Amino acid sequence: MPSRREHFEALAAAQPENQLFRFSLAQALEAEGRSGDAVEHYRFCVAAKIDWMMPRILLGKVLLRLGRRDEAGPVLREALALAAEQHHEDPERELRALLAELG
């Protein structure tokens, strides 16, 4: 039986423009400790939908974990704007805290 990552790799390979497959693949890669490999898939999702908050949050967090703070800041600010606009209070609080840590 294929792993979750393998499952979504196959789906994303068959339909590379499918945002949900790419998002799920990124999450599966992260779950396996392959955060660096997840970045391209989160970036794809961010570029595909201007109002999709979750890939921005997860991309920002991955970039922080990878020590790429300069890249994380703008992504997290975009996510914060979406969280506020869409009235997602918990993500908004979390994002404000992450951005405060960035300075």
CATH number of the domain residue 46 falls in? 1.25.40.10
Range of the domain at 39: 4-102
pLDDT at residue 48 in the model: 96
- Furthest-apart CA pair in the chain: how many Å? 45
pLDDT in tens, 39-96: 999 999 999 999 999 999 999 999 999 999 999 999 999 999 999 999 999 999 999 9
Token readout for 80 is 């914060």
pLDDT at residue 58 in the model: 98
For the chain, what is the domain count?
Answer: 1
